[in-house]
Amino acid sequence: MVIDALLPWLRWLIAFHIMSVMAWMAGLFYLPRLFVYHCQVAVGSQESQRFKIMERRLLKAIMTPAMCASLFFGVLLVLTPGGVDWHAGWWHTKLTAVFCMFAFHGFCSRWCKDFAADHNGHSEKFYRIANEVPTILMMVIVIMVVVRPF
> By percentage, how much of the chain surpasses pLDDT 70?
99
Mean confidence (pLDDT) of the chain: 95
Q: What share of the chain is helix, strand, coil (3-state, %, to 5)?
A: 80, 0, 20
Number of neighbouring beta carbons within 10 Å of residue 111: 23
The pLDDT score that the predictor gives to residue 4 is 82
Question: Average of pLDDT values for 109-129?
Answer: 98
- Ranges 1-15, 46-60, 89-103: which has the least confidence: 1-15
Q: Under the phi-then-psi rule, with left for phi > 0, alpha for psi from -120 to 50, and beta for the rest, what region is 58?
A: alpha
The pLDDT score that the predictor gives to residue 86 is 83
> Do 35 and 111 form a contact (C-beta atoms < 8 A)?
yes
Q: What is the pTM of this model?
A: 0.93
The pLDDT score that the predictor gives to residue 2 is 61
- Ranges 19-33, 82-96, 105-119, 123-137: which has the least confidence: 82-96
42/147 Cα distance (integer angstroms): 46
Going by pLDDT thresholds of 50, 70 and 90, the confidence category of residue 1 is low
Chain center to CA of 62: 11
Q: CA dihedral in degrees (121, 22, 87, 84; nearest 10)?
A: 140
The pLDDT score that the predictor gives to residue 22 is 98
29/46 Cα distance (integer angstroms): 24
The pLDDT score that the predictor gives to residue 47 is 98
Q: Is 94 annotated as a binding residue?
A: yes
